[in-house]
Amino acid sequence: MTTFRRPTVTVVICTYTEDRWANLLDVIESVRAQTVSPQEVLLVIDHNIDLYERLLSVVDDVTVVQNTGPQGLSGARNTGVGLADTDIVAFLDDDAEAAPNWLELLLAMYDDPDVLAVGGRVEPIWETGRPGYFGEELDWIVGCSHLGMPRVACEVRNVIGANMSFRLEVLRQVGGFNLALGRQGAIPLGCEETEICIRSKMGSPGSRIVYEPAAVVRHHVPANRGTFRYMLSRSWSEGLSKAQVSQVVGHKRALGPERRYVRRVLPRAVVSGLYDWGRNGDPGGLGRAGAVLSVLAFTAAGYLRGRRLAHVTPRLGSTAGIEAAWRDVQ
């Protein structure tokens, strides 16, 4: 009878701005409070020397390092991957606090050798309350789990960036996160976690990516991310990012879950919003229905724009065209 050995784990937290200082200290504290302690916590500073020096003088039980790669979230994560020396690497955002049993629940899933990555649920903490037009079906816009996602542990295509973990050997085999994807400063491009999960499975037939909703992280959502303007901007950039991913892994792999989301989740959201407005007199219902339709339109438009850019720049590598396309809606 074999005994399961809990894998060793490094927690990587990437940050780039002093504006999230209070949140960042809370994130670090949430890692200290884990029921299973990580072997190391790596705090990767993305090209901000003032923040790097400030953290060095404040935290002494966390390894603070500078991003040695290109500026951006993918480069910062790859720096953490390069320094890690454990079985598993877990990632937390700098404004997302982990529940005390977060690591314990993620690591338990790795008793299956076919599991390459495990992610958990991300719940929003709204700075000024959830806007009436912002339905839970659209919580992916603020980096959180959305209504319609699984309620029990199961296999998924990809994990969520604010709450994810990978086997270290898998990350190194696929070459880390794609530097042409992911947030760069204030530009809300993304999908780097989607792309690396797909590439990981392509290289390991029969393997699995698992979503464990019991492993919870709470993600702070500032007031400016609850605005209709941000909603549309983020939707546009999601379309651009998905177009980039489709260049690498193909349209079917890049858009499979999104097609199901559009067919099943969004129509129910529109009907529910209209019902709340018409039958219950809830003015937010009409707003929620309108927001869903607007998000769908902007995401599709961003994807089509990204596809057109792909014909001009066939190889994924430069983000200049994508960044310019994102600024088109600003």
**DSSP designation for 99:** P
In a domain, 67, yes or no: yes
In a domain, 234, yes or no: no
Q: Strand, helix or coil at 160? A: strand
User: Tokens at residue 209, please?
Assistant: 């990516």
What is the percent of the chain with per-residue pLDDT over 90, rounded to a whole number?
66
Select from 240, 113, 268 the least CA-distant residue to 181. 240
CATH classification of the domain holding 181: 3.90.550.10
Q: Kind of pairing, strands 88-93 and 40-45?
A: unpaired
Residues in the chain: 330
Domain that holds residue 102: 9-224
pTM tops 0.85: yes
In a domain, 150, yes or no: yes
In a domain, 24, yes or no: yes
Q: What is the largest CA-CA distance in the chain?
A: 62
In a domain, 178, yes or no: yes
Q: What is the pLDDT of residues 238-260, one digit of tens each?
A: 888 888 777 766 666 657 678 88
Looking at the structure of the chain, the number of domains it has is 1
In a domain, 260, yes or no: no
The least confident of 41-55, 162-176, 294-308 is 294-308
* CB-based contacts of 314, cutoff 8 Å, min separation 6: 247
Q: What is the pLDDT of residues 192-231, one digit of tens each?
A: 888 899 889 887 888 999 999 999 999 999 999 999 999 9
